[in-house]
Structures are given as C-alpha cells and as structure tokens.
C-alpha cells in the first residue's frame, strides 16, 4: 500500500501494533511510532461503567465482589485504582510484571479464576504469543 509513496512517517493511536508491518517500515526507511496508553482513561471508564451495568442487571453490589484484573499496564493499573478507591476488592495477574519484580501483589491466572467473581482482561496481542498458544493447543 505504501510502496513507492513519499511517506516518511506512520503513527498509530492504538495500544497494540499487530496491524503494522514494522519490519517493512524500517526496511523502507519510514519512521514509526505508537501511542500506548493514549486511550487508557476512556477504556477504564468504559470497563467501569460496564461493571456497574452488569451489577445492576444481575442485582448485585460490586462491593460484595472481587474483580480479577489480568494485565496491569496503562488500563489495568488505572482500573485497579478506581475500583479500590471505591472499596472494591481487586486481584492482579500480570506474569511479565511479576517476573520482572514490579511492584504489586501479583497472582497466577489460576488463582484469579478461583477467587475472583469477575475477570477483566487488559493484555496486548503479540504474534509470538498466538503461536505459542496454538502450539500448546490453546
């Protein structure tokens, strides 16, 4: 699509870059930049309002539930802060952050499934993870 065009830069306002052929852009001498986190507040507000609507629809209080947050980056961390500010219990799962020793009480996904009433997922899509999951049958 861009071959032969006078394009010097490509930018994306998305969290993921799986839709961009970064290797081709680099080979073609075209600059590239992503904007991870640029829409994090809007996503958190959407997830939070969805949780409130779920609670109303199903007749429960979020204060009586535990929310498991998988992926504690730009969105997950902000969601945790909002929920905990309102006294709603959260459990966190983020294996890469746990492996790096990042601050947080990270739990395994199995533990979240066992102890959380609601699970939210805020994880990036990486091509190599899809291949890894396919190889394991997942």
Q: Are 120 and 70 in contact (CB under 8 A)?
A: yes
pTM over 0.85: no
**Tell me, what's the pLDDT at 134?**
46
The full set of domains in the chain, from first to last, is 1-36 (no CATH), 40-128 (3.40.50.720)
DSSP code string of the chain: --TTS---EEEE-SS--TTS-HHHHHHTT-EEEE-TTTTHHHHHHHHHHHHHHHHHHHT--GGGSEEEEE--SHHHHHHHHHHHHTT-EEEEE-HHHHHHT-SS-B--HHHHHHH-SEEEE-----HHHHHHHHHTT-
**Tell me, what's the pLDDT at 129?**
54
Closest residue by Cα to residue 44 from 77, 79, 15: 79
DSSP class of residue 78? H
**Tell me, what's the pLDDT at 19?**
84
Sites in the chain below the pLDDT cut of 70: 2, 15, 126-138
Q: What is the largest CA-CA distance in the chain?
A: 59
């Amino acid at each position: 699509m861009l071959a032969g065009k006078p394009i010097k830069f490509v930018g994306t306002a998305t969290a993921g870059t799986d839709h961009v052929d970064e290797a081709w852009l680099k080979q073609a001498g075209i600059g590239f930049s992503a904007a991870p986190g640029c829409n994090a507040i809007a996503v958190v507000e959407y997830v939070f309002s969805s949780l409130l609507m779920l609670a109303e629809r199903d007749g429960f209080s979020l204060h009586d539930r535990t929310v498991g947050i998988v992926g504690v980056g730009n969105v997950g961390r902000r969601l945790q802060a909002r929920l905990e500010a309102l006294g709603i219990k959260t459990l966190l799962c983020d294996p890469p952050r746990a492996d790096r020793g990042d601050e947080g009480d990270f739990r395994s996904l199995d533990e979240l499934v066992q102890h959380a009433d609601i699970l939210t997922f805020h994880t990036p899509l990486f091509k190599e993870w899809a291949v890894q999951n396919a190889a394991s049958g997942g």
